[in-house]
């Protein structure tokens, strides 16, 4: 069994992505494809799965064109498990692929239990009638893998598998991939940072519109954060406790953020990081303890224009026709004339080195560029406090370094920053790192 790519090419909305790509992946081999954001890694994976035209070349699997591969032999998993789990409970999810392949129902349950065992999902703790919505992100990814493995694929294609996983999820993924490779399966995956996945045997990089051999990139150098922050407290949490329904999310949270300080709050999937940010903006009420932002209990109306919130996948909030309009739009809330808004927006774009994109439609930009534009539009209102929810997901090292540069600049201007992450960063440019657990916030 092998996958062979010959002279593959593809074009994006703004021009060619890559051309003349040749690749062979043998049994038991795990290949990682890296490259800058928007270079065509996902497109290449979809071409391997037969979902995208291969350009002038061809994709062969098991000695025949990939379009003729036996159903179930190639398994493709995209980045976000939430949009790929299609059924209400674990059993229906696992059965979905088998139902499509017309496997008799009486043969399904044993295959389901076997697939769960392959990804270390305990059937006693996770019965087949368990609702999918109650699973953690790590469990969802394992379930998705089981739902693919149940169809007995020989080639697994994974698009940024580490993007949503915490350290526990990555450890589990490593074990699953090693078992799969040991049975003669092949894996091709896209990842910005291959370092956490020890199963990877070969690294390739899309650069200069072609695919080249590469090595594990060293962690990018980030400048140290600007000088020590001021003494004025911007955010204060005292013995904060949060319960959602009957579930206690966290308690005994004590935390202070000073003016001009950048703090990272790191926690596993489901630890309540997004809920913490909602508490700080007043959209969620604490169950106990107290929170103060700018010396007052947080309330959305009072914090408007003073706090900037960058949500996960911020590209979703881009709606204007051009980047300049996107950045100038929030300034119109201040009642400034349109010309003045555009003038101020241009100044912000210059400051963030984004002025070259000013007249381009945001939806035609790469993921990394969209991310930076969304950040620029949040910074346009000059917030005193910036809350960033997992801002580096899907960003390549260069874009990550650029975001840190922007944060340092904002910090010099007196803005304080809280940045939540689901994994401990190898390098960072923050003043402090805290780990969020159910029992409190611990400085790292």
Partner 1 sequence: MLNGSSRHTTRVSQTRLILRITAAMALAMGALFWHGPWSLTALTLGTAALAVATGAYRHPWRRLVLVFIWQVVLIMALYLLRYGVQSLPEGALVAWRLVLLVLPGVLLMKTTHHGEMARLLVRFLPARVGFVLSTCVFFFPTLWGVTVQTYESQVLRGARILPRELVNPANWGTLVRVICLPAIVSSLVLARDVALAAHCRWYGLHPDRTVWPGPNPSNSTGEPRA
Q: Is 98 in the site for partner 1 (CB under 8 A)?
A: yes
Kindly tell me which residue out of 103, 203, 220, 401 binds partner 1, with binding defined by CB under 8 A: 103
Q: Is 13 in the site for partner 1 (CB under 8 A)?
A: no
Contact residues for 233 (Cβ-Cβ < 8 A; gap 6+): 256, 257, 258, 259, 292, 295
Q: Which residue in 140, 134, 143, 50 sits closest to 95, CA to CA?
A: 143
CA distance 233 to 297: 13
Kindly tell me which residue out of 7, 228, 305, 340 binds partner 1, with binding defined by CB under 8 A: 305
Residue whose CB is less far from partner 1, 81 or 194: 81
Q: Is 336 in the site for partner 1 (CB under 8 A)?
A: no
> Least distance (Å) from partner 1 to the CB of residue 222?
26
Q: Is 221 in the site for partner 1 (CB under 8 A)?
A: no
For residue 403, CA distances in Å to 225, 397, 439 come to 13, 10, 31
Q: Is 80 in the site for partner 1 (CB under 8 A)?
A: yes
Contacts to partner 1 from residues 268-297, by CB under 8 A: 278, 281, 283-284
Torsions phi, psi of 128, nearest 5?
-65, -20
CA distance 200 to 158: 12
Q: Is 330 in the site for partner 1 (CB under 8 A)?
A: yes
Instruction: Kindly write out the interface string for residues 32-51 of this chain, putting x where it contacts partner 1 by CB under 8 A and - elsewhere.
Output: -----------------x-x
For residue 131, give the DSSP letter.
B
CA distance 53 to 9: 9
Instruction: Kindly write out the interface string for residues 134-173 of this chain, putting x where it contacts partner 1 by CB under 8 A and - elsewhere.
Output: -------------xx--x----------------------
Q: Is 88 in the site for partner 1 (CB under 8 A)?
A: yes
Kindly tell me which residue out of 186, 377, 400, 415 binds partner 1, with binding defined by CB under 8 A: 377
Q: Is 109 in the site for partner 1 (CB under 8 A)?
A: yes
Secondary structure class of 235 (helix, strand, coil): strand
Q: Is 15 in the site for partner 1 (CB under 8 A)?
A: no
CA distance 336 to 144: 50
Number of residues that bind partner 1 (CB under 8 A): 77
Kind and range of the H or E run holding 204: strand 202-207
CA distance 84 to 244: 26
Q: Is 340 in the site for partner 1 (CB under 8 A)?
A: no
Contacts to partner 1 from residues 235-254, by CB under 8 A: 244-245
Is 316 exposed, middle or buried, given 0-12, 13-18 or 19+ CB atoms closer than 10 A? exposed
């Amino acid at each position: 069994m092998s996958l062979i790519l010959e002279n593959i090419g593809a074009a994006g909305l703004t021009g060619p992505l890559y051309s003349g790509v040749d690749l062979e992946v043998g049994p038991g081999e795990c290949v990682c494809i890296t490259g800058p954001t928007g270079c065509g890694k996902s497109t290449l994976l979809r071409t391997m799965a037969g979902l995208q035209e291969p350009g002038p070349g061809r994709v062969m699997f098991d000695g025949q064109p990939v379009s003729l591969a036996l159903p179930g032999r190639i398994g493709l998993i995209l980045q976000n498990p939430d949009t790929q789990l299609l059924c209400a409970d674990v059993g229906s999810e696992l059965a979905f692929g088998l139902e499509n392949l017309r496997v008799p129902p009486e043969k399904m349950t044993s295959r389901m239990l076997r697939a769960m065992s392959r990804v270390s999902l305990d059937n006693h703790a996770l019965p087949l009638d368990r609702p999918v919505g109650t699973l953690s992100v790590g469990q969802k990814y394992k379930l998705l893998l089981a739902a693919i493995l149940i169809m007995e694929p020989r080639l697994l294609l994974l698009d940024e598998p580490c993007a949503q996983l915490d350290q526990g999820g990555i450890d589990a993924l490593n074990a699953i991939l090693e078992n799969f490779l040991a049975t003669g399966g092949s894996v091709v995956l896209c990842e910005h940072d291959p370092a956490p996945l020890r199963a990877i045997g070969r690294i390739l990089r899309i650069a200069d519109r072609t695919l080249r051999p590469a090595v594990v990139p060293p962690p990018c150098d980030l400048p140290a954060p600007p000088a020590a922050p001021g003494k004025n407290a911007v955010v204060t949490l005292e013995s904060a406790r949060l319960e959602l329904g009957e579930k206690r999310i966290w308690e005994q949270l004590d935390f202070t953020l000073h003016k001009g300080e950048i703090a990272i709050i790191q926690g596993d999937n489901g630890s309540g990081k997004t809920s913490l940010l909602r508490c700080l903006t007043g959209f969620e009420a604490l169950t106990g303890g107290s929170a103060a932002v700018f010396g007052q209990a947080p309330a959305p109306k009072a914090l408007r224009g003073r706090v900037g919130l960058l949500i996960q996948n911020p590209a979703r909030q881009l709606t204007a026709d051009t980047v300049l309009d996107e950045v100038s739009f929030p300034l119109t809330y201040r009642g400034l004339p349109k010309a003045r808004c555009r003038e101020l927006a241009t100044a912000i774009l210059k400051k963030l080195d984004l002025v070259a994109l000013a007249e381009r439609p945001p939806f035609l930009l790469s993921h990394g560029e969209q991310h930076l534009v969304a950040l620029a539009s949040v910074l346009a209102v000059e917030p005193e406090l910036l809350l960033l929810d997992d801002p580096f997901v899907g960003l390549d090292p260069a874009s990550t370094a650029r975001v840190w540069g922007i944060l340092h600049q904002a910090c010099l201007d007196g803005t304080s920053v809280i940045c939540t992450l689901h994994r401990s960063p190898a390098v960072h440019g923050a003043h402090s790192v805290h780990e969020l657990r159910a029992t409190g916030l611990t400085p790292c």
